[in-house]
Amino acid sequence: MITFGPAELAATAPEITLATAGALIVLLEAFAPRTRRAFATLSLAAIALSLYFVSRAPIGATFGGRLETSSLTSVASLFLAATAAVAVLVAKRYLERAGEERGEFYALLLWGHLGVSLMVRGIDLLVIFIGLETLSLSFYVLAAIFRGVHASSEAGLKYFLTGAFGSAFTVYGIALLFGRSGSLRISALSQVGFGGDPVIVFALLLLLAGFGFKMSLAPFHAWAPDVYQGMPTPAVAYLSVAPKGASLIVLYRVLTAVYQGALPSRLQTGIAALAILSMTLGNVVALAQRDIKRLLAYSGIAHMGYITITLAVFGRGAFTAALVYLFAYLVSNAGAFACVSVLYRDETRPHPVGLLAGEGRRAPFAAGVLTLCFFSLAGIPATAGFIGKFFVFGAAIDRGLYGLAVIGILNSLVSIGYYLRVVYVLYMREPVEAEGPPPLGVSDGLALALCAAGILLLGVFPSGLWRLARSAAESLPFFGP
């Protein structure tokens, strides 16, 4: 009999904090709209508090093996909280400028964050699915939250339809896994013979598709560019990072439960194919993009390709590399979206790259950080992105997957083409807009500074992060190194 005791309270305190803060914000919005200015601070506080509770939560499984607290979940929570913090920080001024400052935005963001948090902490397929859906529902709404803007509504519709479609696959996969293992707990998948069971493998594929969808992994990526384009930028900053990481962790959880040692070669081939397709398609199509948010969407698709290399490689080292990569991706990609959010004056119109012309001089800080983010995404050394690639390709080479590494590296060459094009527009073209970007708020500045510092610190001193990731990777039952 499972009751809600002190252990359960301690374990769920992070989520309870988030849920309560969201509800509080909605209530304040309804009954004390004057407090709006404090919503961002409140949200930040909730995120921080939740992170604090994560650190205090006792290690181990609770709720009858449905929720886990481990070094992995702690590291993942740190990752998620950092993303959420960046999103909240840039959201404040963004919403003010757009005239859409409303509590629901923060509430939905916090609830979505809660959902992602459940995804990484859940060790039960149902919990994970509910987390996934909480995230999805919140972000369907966030995508469409600018009701007066056609693009926003359309993004909402597209995200909703494709998301529901993906969820159907996920839930079908869950049903099959449940049917074969007799339990919704992931641990039940570690049964002898499951690795070769066709239904299990099929169900894993469905999950791969469903969570690959959340990761915007090609060919399950198609929603991402459209949704990113129409969605409010701060929400994209979160959506383009946190759920991707969480989905990857879920995939690792499920796959390690079934295959502790190594993936069967056909599955490896399939995942490698996804990685290659995602890298190549993402990078090549990004070259043709003119809207910076779409460009970043394709860049994100490509990055999910790189990170999926680690999934194909599989193993503790690979998972460590993946976690390091996630953090690198967090600071660079969330940072890039934060910069985009700061650099465009009109939030509701498209964001063509050309409008950034000459901002290198008019908004040196934001443009500088954006450049740094792009160099990091491109994997130039002394940035976090390089460290990420270093570990990912290192892991691939360590397991002898040279082909993947070479394709990956060629892809990052292609990617430099479009990253540099944006840098070129920033610094080497004359401004096209009469007015410069809006003045930088304190919160914006803080967000950008944090991302820039993260990029450089992780880029120059990655040891700490690596140790953290390594300890997190120990949580999963990998065999071997």
Partner 1 sequence: MERIVFDAAATIALVFAALMVLSRNPVKSVLALVVSFFFLAVIYVLLFAPFIAAIQVIVYAGAILVLFLFVLMLLNIRHEGSGKDPRPIQRIVGGGAILVFTIVLVALLSKHGTPPGLPPASEAAAPHIGDVARAVYSDFLLPFEALSVLLLAALVGAFVLVSKEHRP
Partner 2 sequence: MSVLPLWLIPALPLAGFLACGLFGTRLGKRFVSVVGVGSVGLATVAAFSRLVPYLGGDHAPVVERVSSWITAGDFRAEIAFRLDPLSALMLSFVTFVGFLIHVYSTGYMHHDETDAGYARFFSYLNLFMFSMLTLVLAQNFLLMFVGWEGVGLCSYLLIGYYYEQPFAPAAGKKAFVVNRIGDWGFLLGMFGLATQFGTLDYDGVFQAAAKDPARFAPALTLIALCLFLGAVGKSAQVPLYVWLPDAMAGPTPVSALIHAATMVTAGVYMVARCNVLFRLSPDAMLVVAIIGTITAVLAALIALAQNDIKKVLAYSTVSQLGYMFLACGVGAFVAGMFHVMTHAFFKACLFLGAGSVMHAMSGELDMRRMGGLKGKLPTTYRTFLVAALAICGIPPLAGFFSKDAILAGAFEAGQPVLWAVGLFTAGLTAFYMFRMVARVFAGSFRGTPEQEHHVHESPPSMTVPLVVLAALSAVGGFVGLPAVVGEHGNRIEAFLSPIFLPLAAHEPAGHALPHATEWLLLAASVAVAAGGIGLAWKWYAKEDGRVPDRIAAAFPALYALVADKFRVDELYGALVVKPFAWIARICWKVIDVLVIDGVLNAGAFLVELAGDLLRFLQTGNVRNYALTFLLGVVALMLIVMGGF
Partner 3 sequence: MDLLRSHLLSAVVFLPAVGAVLLALFPASAAKAARNLALAIATLDFLVSIPLWTRFVPAAGFQFGENVPWIPNFGISYAVGLDGLSLVLVMLTTLLTPVALLFSLSHVSKGVRGFSIAFLLLETGMLGSLVALDLALFYVFWEVMLVPMYFIIGIWGGTRRIYAAMKFFLFTMAGSLLMFLAILYLAVRHHAVTGMWSFALEDLATLDFASGVQTVLFLAFALAFAIKVPVFPLHTWLPDAHTEAPTAGSIILAGVLLKLGVYGYLRFGLTLFPEAALRFAPWVGLLGVIGVVYGALVAFPQKDMKRLVAYSSVSHLGLVVVGVAAFTTVSLSGSILQMINHGLSTGALFLLVGVLYERRHTREIEAYGGLAGIVPVTTALFLVATLSSIGLPGLNGFVGEFLILLGTWTSAHRWWAVLAATGVILSAVYMLTLVQRVFWNPVTHEENRSLPEIRPSELLAAAVLVACMIWIGVRPNDLLSRLSPTVEAIRSAVLEKTSAENRGRAEAAP
* C-beta closer to partner 2: residue 129 or 159: 159
Q: How far apart are CA 373 and CA 388, in angstroms?
A: 13
Structure tokens at 127: 């919990």
- Binding segment for partner 1 (CB under 8 A), chosen from 56-64, 75-83, 389-397, 400-408, is 56-64
Among 161, 382, 432, 449, binds partner 2 (CB under 8 A): 161
113 binds partner 1 (CB under 8 A): no
428 binds partner 3 (CB under 8 A): yes
Q: How far apart are CA 43 and CA 432, in angstroms?
A: 36
Among 258, 274, 343, 369, binds partner 2 (CB under 8 A): 274
Site for partner 2 in 413-432 (CB under 8 A): 414, 417
SS3 67: strand
Q: How far apart are CA 121 and CA 59, in angstroms?
A: 12
Q: How far apart are CA 364 and CA 359, in angstroms?
A: 7
114 binds partner 1 (CB under 8 A): yes
Q: Where are the alpha helices (DSSP H) in 144-264?
A: 150-181, 198-215, 223-230, 233-239, 242-258
* C-beta closer to partner 1: residue 198 or 439: 198
Residue 382 binds: one of partner 1, partner 2, partner 3, none (C-beta under 5 to 8 A by kind): partner 3
152 binds partner 2 (CB under 8 A): no
- Binding segment for partner 2 (CB under 8 A), chosen from 33-41, 218-226, 242-250, 400-408, is 218-226
- 425: Cβ contacts below 8 Å, ≥ 6 apart: 353, 354, 356, 357
Q: Count the Cβ atoms, other than its own, within 10 Å of residue 305.
A: 27
Q: How far apart are CA 137 and CA 129, in angstroms?
A: 12
Q: How far apart are CA 300 and CA 308, in angstroms?
A: 12
Among 46, 54, 57, 118, binds partner 1 (CB under 8 A): 118
Site for partner 3 in 360-379 (CB under 8 A): 361, 364, 375
Q: How far apart are CA 319 and CA 325, in angstroms?
A: 10
Whether 313 and 403 have beta carbons less than 8 Å apart is answered as no
Among 9, 32, 33, 382, binds partner 1 (CB under 8 A): 33
- Binding segment for partner 1 (CB under 8 A), chosen from 104-112, 277-285, 373-381, 401-409, is 104-112
Structure tokens at 200: 């299990």
Helix, strand, coil content of the chain in percent (nearest 5): 80, 0, 20
Q: How far apart are CA 341 and CA 362, in angstroms?
A: 16
Residue 412 binds: one of partner 3, partner 1, partner 2, none (C-beta under 5 to 8 A by kind): partner 3
Binding site for partner 3 (CB under 8 A): 361, 364, 375, 380-382, 386, 390, 393-394, 397-398, 402, 405-406, 409-410, 412-413, 416-417, 420, 423-424, 427-428, 462-463, 466-467, 470
Binding site for partner 2 (CB under 8 A): 157-158, 161-162, 165-166, 169, 196, 198, 201-202, 205-206, 208-209, 212-213, 218-220, 222-223, 225-226, 264, 266-267, 269-270, 273-274, 281, 284-289, 414, 417
